[in-house]
Amino acid sequence: MMRSVQFMQAIRAWMDIFMHRSMRGWGLFAKSTGLSMPQFSVLMQLHHKGACGMSEISERFEVTPAAASQLVDKLVQNGFIVREEDPNDRRAKLLDLTDKGRELLERGFQERYRWADQLAGRLTAEERVQVSEALNIMTRAAEELEAEPAP
């Protein structure tokens, strides 16, 4: 399905450089906090999707419930998330970020944003307006894609 050659070229070039940059950045940040990437990804997941049960973790990361349980356990022990009984289903657990967990992620985002700020510094005022509008368009589209489930 060929939408637009120009668009695909542009987004691929951007994705190449941006994905590499952010993967490396998050990796180093996670390491600096003493968290492993899987542990860190669980925090990101909770940040992005909000509180959830163990089963959502094991499904989204494609690991066994046992693995999810152990992973979460370490994060609970370190005070980054809380694990409480679900009042509606006493078998299930509800996981959520603690303030400590949220604060850690915030620091990570700040580091990422510093790069965005450097990027902004290389643009003219007109370019910044143009890019802002385009980013808003893409963010909206991405959110729609996220909401409507893939076939």
Nearest-approach distance from CB 132 to DNA, in angstroms: 37
Interface with DNA (CB under 7 A), residue total 27
Residue 81 three-state SS: strand
Q: Which of 49, 147, 150, 51 is nearest to 96 (CA)?
A: 51
Nearest-approach distance from CB 35 to a copy of itself, in angstroms: 13
Q: Which is nearer to a copy of itself, 11 or 73 (CB)?
A: 11
Q: Does 70 bind a copy of itself (CB under 8 A)?
A: no
Residue 91 three-state SS: strand
| Residue partners of 7: CB distance under 8 A and separation at least 6 | none
| Residue partners of 93: CB distance under 8 A and separation at least 6 | 53, 54, 83, 84, 85, 86
Q: Does 106 bind a copy of itself (CB under 8 A)?
A: no
Binding residues (CB under 8 A) for a copy of itself: these are 1, 3-4, 6-24, 26-28, 31, 37, 41, 44, 48, 60-62, 109, 112-113, 115-123, 125, 127-139, 141-146, 150
